[in-house]
């Protein structure tokens, strides 16, 4: 089936916001096995919106419209859809109730009139509850064609899509689509692709798609079958094969888990406390770990030792080490991690020191050179990295590399 996306909003055409909804919906459509040929963005203009909608209905089976369902005069999507399909707008009692409830639970007594506009739906529409806002989603079936209207705010659209639209689209297809995510750290995209080139070529069900992130590669397996059990059965041998090929580099097969979550979970499971010492990353590494809810159970403190003096005074790096080998060296990285353990008594320490640029590089120590040391229960490991890109990219790459090295070091220590 062919699907098409239309995003409605003048703020996108003015460049005020980036259209991340389109990327999200595109990935979901790919996951559902739907062919997406066009994405269009059109402003809050009734004529152009209608034109765009008509064209989309001519060339695609399913049209997903995002945005323009709110209470203001600029919100025109529902009206345009009703006109194109020749339907009247009628009030949906349940939506009216939901809007009332939304304001009640927030203690808002005066509901302005324009809000009730959101309870109007084209006749015959399937109304989809919005658990995070007032504008419901709508599904309009018209012969062979399907029109899906979603609210614009990502915080409303995404939960609605996951809960109701994804299953609806899945069930519309002759076969069920099931997908699994395998997340790999510590390997570049081209290496991962080379390692599975044979599988990508010969595998048609499930298919394997690669998604490159900074320092990570995600593999999405998608299988089609008559029911979910059959689809999972098709995936099983392929997942097993991927686990053999990538082993410990797979940090999760849980779609929602991030690398930092998997690391915090590992520290919790092993009952390990962590101290961080950052130079070039200047707090980014710890900041990312703290984004995990409950990180406080394992992370007690961190040091940002940006200057040589701070490296000496706060965590006891030796003056001689700094003089002889420099702040960016494996020796300094090791002493930073060792000093952190001695100062705080934590079980694990991670240290990062490097040259993020654009200045400060030399022939011997170029921009992008980073040393990361990890000490787990007395076992010290230090690695040298050469990252490319601008200052921000180098620092982000260092953060992901540190997460990966921390993870590997803990796993190695457990093994022995």
* Pairing of β 250-252 and β 207-213: unpaired
210-269 positions binding its own copies, by CB under 8 A: 211-212
For 371-404, letters b (16+ CB in 10 Å) and e give: bbbbbbeeeebbbebebeeeeeebbbbbbbbbbb
Q: What kind and span of H or E run contains 25? A: helix 20-31
Q: Closest approach of Cβ 296 to its own copies, in Å?
A: 6
- The CA distances from residue 171 to 167, 168, 176, 416, in Å, are 6, 5, 7, 49
How many chain residues interact with its own copies (CB under 8 A)?
71
Residues 11-40 that bind its own copies (CB under 8 A): 12-20, 22-30, 36-40
Contact flag: residue 314 with its own copies (CB under 8 A): yes
Residue selected from 182, 185, 299, 374 as contacting its own copies according to rule CB under 8 A: 299
Provide, rounded to whole angstroms, the least separation between the CB of residue 219 and its own copies: 12
Q: Which of 166, 168, 306, 325 binds its own copies (CB under 8 A)?
A: 306
Task: Please list every residue from 187 through 216 that binds its own copies, using CB under 8 A.
Answer: 209, 211-212
Q: 253 near 181, Cβ under 8 Å?
A: yes
The residue among 24, 7, 146 whose CA lies nearest residue 69 is 7
Q: Of residues 110, 201, 271, 359, which one binds its own copies by CB under 8 A?
A: 359
Return the DSSP state at 15: T
Does 154 help bind its own copies (rule: CB under 8 A)? no
Q: DSSP class of residue 76? A: -
Minimum CB–partner distance for residue 115 and its own copies (Å): 18
**Region 384-413 residues binding its own copies, contact defined as CB under 8 A:** 391-392, 395
Nearest residue (CB) to its own copies, 54 versus 240: 54
Contact with its own copies (CB under 8 A) among 8, 32, 33, 52: 52
Closest C-alpha to 28, from 146, 137, 166: 166
Short-list 248, 74, 237, 257, CA closest to 181: 257
User: DSSP state, 110?
Assistant: -
The contact pattern for its own copies, residues 76-115, with x = CB under 8 A and - = no contact, is ----------------------------------------
**By C-alpha distance, which of 166, 219, 168 is closest to 189?**
219
CA distance 108 to 71: 16
Closest contact distance (angstroms) between CB of 88 and its own copies is 29
Q: Which is nearer to its own copies, 28 or 183 (CB)?
A: 28
Q: Establish if 176 lies at the interface with its own copies (CB under 8 A).
A: no
Among 293, 323, 363, 364, binds its own copies (CB under 8 A): 293
Interface with its own copies includes 57 (CB under 8 A)?
Answer: no
Q: How far is the CB of 137 from its own copies (least distance, A)?
A: 20
CB of 103 to its own copies, least distance (A): 17
| Residue 257 φ/ψ, nearest 5 degrees | -85, 135
Task: Select 23 or 229, whichever has its Cβ closest to its own copies.
Answer: 23
Radius of gyration of the chain (CA): 26
Cα separation of 282 and 269, whole Å? 28
8-state DSSP, 310: H
* Least CB distance to its own copies at residue 69 (A): 20
Does 295 bind its own copies (CB under 8 A)? Our answer is: yes
Which listed residue (32, 165, 280, 328) binds its own copies by CB under 8 A?
A: 280
> What is the distance between the alpha carbons of residues 338 and 320, in angstroms, rounded to a whole number?
16
């Amino acid at each position: 089936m062919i699907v098409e996306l239309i995003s409605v909003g003048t703020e996108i055409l003015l460049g005020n916001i980036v259209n991340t909804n389109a990327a999200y919906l595109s990935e979901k459509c790919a996951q559902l096995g739907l062919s997406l040929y066009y994405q269009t963005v059109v402003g809050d203009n009734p004529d152009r919106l209608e034109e765009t909608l008509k064209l989309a209905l001519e060339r695609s089976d399913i049209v997903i419209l995002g945005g323009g369902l709110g209470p203001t005069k600029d919100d025109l999507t529902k009206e345009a859809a009703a006109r194109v399909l020749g339907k009247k707008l009628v009030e949906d009692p349940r939506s009216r109730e939901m809007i009332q409830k939304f304001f009640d639970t927030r203690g808002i007594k005066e509901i302005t009139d324009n809000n009730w506009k959101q309870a109007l739906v084209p006749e015959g529409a399937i109304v989809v509850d919005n658990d995070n806002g007032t504008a419901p989603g709508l599904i309009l079936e018209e012969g062979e064609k399907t029109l899906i209207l979603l609210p614009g705010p990502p915080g409303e659209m995404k939960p609605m899509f996951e809960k109701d639209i994804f299953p609806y689209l899945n069930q519309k297809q002759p076969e069920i689509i099931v997908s699994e995510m395998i997340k790999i750290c510590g390997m570049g995209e081209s290496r991962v692709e080379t390692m599975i080139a044979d599988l990508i070529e010969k595998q048609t069900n499930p298919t394997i798609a690669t998604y490159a992130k900074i320092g990570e590669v995600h593999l999405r397996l998608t299988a089609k079958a008559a029911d979910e059990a059959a689809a999972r059965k098709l995936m099983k041998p392929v997942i097993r094969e991927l686990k053999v090929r990538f082993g410990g580099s797979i940090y999760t097969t849980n779609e929602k888990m991030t690398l930092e979550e998997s690391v915090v979970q590992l520290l919790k499971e092993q009952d390990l406390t962590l101290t961080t010492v950052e130079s070039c990353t200047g707090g980014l590494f710890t900041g990312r770990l703290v984004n995990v809810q409950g990180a406080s159970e394992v992370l007690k403190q961190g040091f940002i030792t940006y200057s040589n003096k701070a490296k000496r005074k706060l965590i006891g790096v030796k003056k001689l080490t700094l003089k002889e080998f420099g702040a960016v060296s494996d020796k300094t990285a090791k002493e930073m991690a060792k000093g952190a353990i001695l100062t705080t008594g934590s079980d694990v320490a991670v240290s990062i020191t490097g040259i993020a640029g654009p200045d400060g590089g030399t022939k011997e120590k170029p921009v992008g050179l980073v040393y990361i040391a990890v000490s787990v229960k007395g076992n010290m490991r230090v690695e040298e990295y050469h990252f490319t890109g601008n200052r921000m990219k180098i620092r982000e790459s260092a953060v992901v590399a540190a997460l990966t090295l921390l993870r590997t070091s803990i796993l190695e220590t457990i093994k022995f």
